[in-house]
Amino acid sequence: MTGLHWIDWLVVGGYFGVLAWVVWATSRKQETPSDYFLAGRNIGWFVIGASLFASNIGSEHLVGLAGSGAKSGVAMAHYELHAWCLLVLGWVLVPFFYRSGVYTMPEFLERRYNPATRWILSLVSLVAYVFTKVSVTVYAGGKVFQALLPELEIAGINSFWIGAVSVVVLTGMYTCFGGLRAVVYTDAMQTVVLILGSLCVTSIGLYHLGGWDELRELSGSERFNLWRPASDPDFPWPGMLFAAPIVGLWYWCTDQYIVQRTLAARNLKIARRGTLFGAYLKITPVFLFIVPGMIAYALAKKNMLVLDDPDQAFPAMVSQLLPVGVRGLVVGGLLAALMSSLSSLFNACSTLFTVDIYQKISPEASERELVTVGRMATGVIVVLGLLWIPAMQHVSGALYEYLQSVQAYLAPPMTAVFFLGVFWKRVNGKGAVATLVLGFALGLLKLACQIYAGLVSPEKMEFLSSIQQSLIAYGSINFLLFCVYLFLFCCATLVVVSLFTAAPSASQIENLTFATNTAEGRREVRESWNRWDVVHTGVVLLIIVGVYLYFTG
């Protein structure tokens, strides 16, 4: 059975009705920048954790991660076991971010280093959001609609465009008017819908397949193994072991898109407990998204599912296997994933532009003016995301792998600058600027060379100049291994340049590194946790180790 029954549409309509009420109820007071960008710094731990999860799990996960499971098995699960990175955020970095009172991550870099680092990170982040996260999320949403409603067409416009445009516009509207408060509370609701819907797909898929043992047998031992040989062209184990954490620490601990939720907490204790709850939720995607992709592969192998494209694994299961009513619930989950990620992206972009760029240019701007500019910035990001959709239609291969490869080129300089910055007081602004500029330049050059290498056929290689062949060789380096090389280069650059230039003053780095924490700062951190925080941290780590052991063999 394909398409949606009227009962499914009723369920989806009910979902949108509740969503509209939540937006209305949470967006009535948006008078100051703190209200609009950080929800008045008055958010509880449950909402923070749910929003961290919902912001991360977008339609690129439902489409791309399930597609990766169908194509390669559990290899990409390394990225989904990064729940431990949320523990690093809560225990290591949140105390510095929260006590500094900043709105954005570039603003923190300015306090730790200098204004130049703030400008560099702000501009790079905005460009990266539009060309990676916004575009990939919108593209994945269009693919979902294309699979679920292939016959839908209005005025010659197919279901891909109808789905992508309509959801982007709707999400942009409530993000624009509701600010971060509307984003985090809708995220909390969408997390419940997302998990319930994905559990339905996993359980019903296993029922049709014949159980877990049948999945293992049809998938084979290689697809059930997290670790690939070092010679594997796509996922060599050294690259996964070292590169995935580099990307994970950047994404979960320093990316505005994620960290903004913790900055909205009522206090430091609530912020940390939000990250602990988010860590529990972050463990689930292995079973909610990767496993369904593997189930789709196994069902297709038994001719029980039509699967022409790995990226269609999740929506194909929804449209071909689920009963009436349940299908509507899962479509609601798909929409929840798309809208929660987009709303978080739009809000993060507007915060970065307004606080890090507009307010620096117009320091006399009133609070109402800043809120208005934030709303206008959201609208601009919506339009840019829509304009980039045609380019995303040319993305080849599994979507999630594409996203991870691009992030592997952007993450190393940011991970180096943030973590060395809080762990070692000697690194300075000149070292940070050199690291960010050189790191981003090498990463973008790698991406450009990779695209160039893909355009050159093997038979033409011998006719190319030595420079062209060198560029192709550079672009052909495995993206995981390149991430490790670039991170080591960035760390070396930051250390060497800092040692050969003047050390930062004591007043500049007070309470911004472990070595310069004041007695009052240390006491505040100690009072923000108790034995339950430690126990839950241990439980999360034990679960992660258990999953690694199960999928290693």
Secondary structure element (H or E) that encloses residue 153, with its range: strand 153-154
Q: What is the pLDDT of residue 429?
A: 95
HSE at residue 404, side-chain half, CA atoms within 13 A, is 29
Range 51-58 average pLDDT: 82
How many helices, marked H, and strands, marked E, lie in the chain?
A: 29, 2
Most confident of the ranges 33-47, 134-148, 503-517: 503-517
Range 34-44 average pLDDT: 67
Secondary structure element (H or E) that encloses residue 304, with its range: none
Could you tell me which residues come within 8 angstroms of residue 363 by beta carbon, excluding any fewer than 6 positions away? none
Torsional sign, CA 228, 230, 231, 232: positive
The burial of 303, by beta-carbon neighbours within 10 Å (0-12 exposed, 13-18 middle, 19 or more buried), is given as exposed
Question: In the structure encoding, which two tokens stand for residue 381, read together?
Answer: 């990001």
Range 199-211 average pLDDT: 90
Q: What percent of the chain has pLDDT over 90?
A: 27
Give the pLDDT confidence of 543-552 residue by residue, as tens digits. Answer: 999 999 998 8
DSSP for 40-70, written as a single string: GG-B-HHHHHHHHHHHHS-HHIIIIIHHHHH
Give the pLDDT confidence of 72-131 residue by residue, as tens digits. Answer: 888 878 878 889 999 999 999 999 988 888 888 999 999 999 999 999 999 888 877 776
Q: What is the pLDDT of residue 461?
A: 66
The amino acid at residue 94 is: V
Q: What is the pLDDT of residue 231?
A: 83
403 compared with 226, residue with greater pLDDT: 226
Cα–Cα distance measured from residue 204 to residue 209, given in angstroms and rounded to the nearest whole number? 9
Of 542, 253, 178, residue with least CA distance to 411: 253
Secondary structure element (H or E) that encloses residue 158, with its range: strand 157-158
Question: In the structure encoding, which two tokens stand for residue 138, read together?
Answer: 């919108």
Q: What is the pLDDT of residue 469?
A: 80
Would you tell me which CATH number, out of the four given (1.10.3720.10, 3.90.1150.10, 1.20.1730.10, 3.40.30.10), belongs to the domain 6-407+530-550? Answer: 1.20.1730.10
In the chain, where the domains are located: 6-407+530-550
Cα–Cα distance measured from residue 236 to residue 231, given in angstroms and rounded to the nearest whole number? 6
Question: In the structure encoding, which two tokens stand for residue 410, read together?
Answer: 């952007």
332 compared with 398, residue with greater pLDDT: 332
Is residue 396 pLDDT above 50, yes or no? no
- Average pLDDT of the chain is 83
- The conformation of residue 82, written as its DSSP 8-state character, comes to T
Task: Show the CA angle centred on residue 434, arms to residues 428 and 440, nearest 5°.
Answer: 130
Of 348, 483, 515, 353, residue with least CA distance to 414: 483
Identify the band that residue 386 occupies on the pLDDT scale cut at 50, 70 and 90. confident
276 compared with 379, residue with greater pLDDT: 276
Determine which of 41-45, 300-304, 331-335 has the lowest per-residue pLDDT on average: 331-335
- The conformation of residue 103, written as its DSSP 8-state character, comes to S
Cα–Cα distance measured from residue 358 to residue 375, given in angstroms and rounded to the nearest whole number? 13
Cα–Cα distance measured from residue 186 to residue 180, given in angstroms and rounded to the nearest whole number? 10
Count Cβ atoms below 10 Å from residue 208 Cβ, excluding itself. Answer: 16
Give the pLDDT confidence of 500-533 residue by residue, as tens digits. Answer: 999 999 888 988 999 988 888 888 889 989 999 9
The burial of 47, by beta-carbon neighbours within 10 Å (0-12 exposed, 13-18 middle, 19 or more buried), is given as buried
Question: In the structure encoding, which two tokens stand for residue 392, read together?
Answer: 């995303």
Is residue 375 pLDDT above 60, yes or no? yes
Cα–Cα distance measured from residue 302 to residue 196, given in angstroms and rounded to the nearest whole number? 27
For residue 244, give the 3-state DSSP assignment.
Answer: helix
Give the pLDDT confidence of 154-178 residue by residue, as tens digits. Answer: 777 777 777 777 777 777 777 776 6
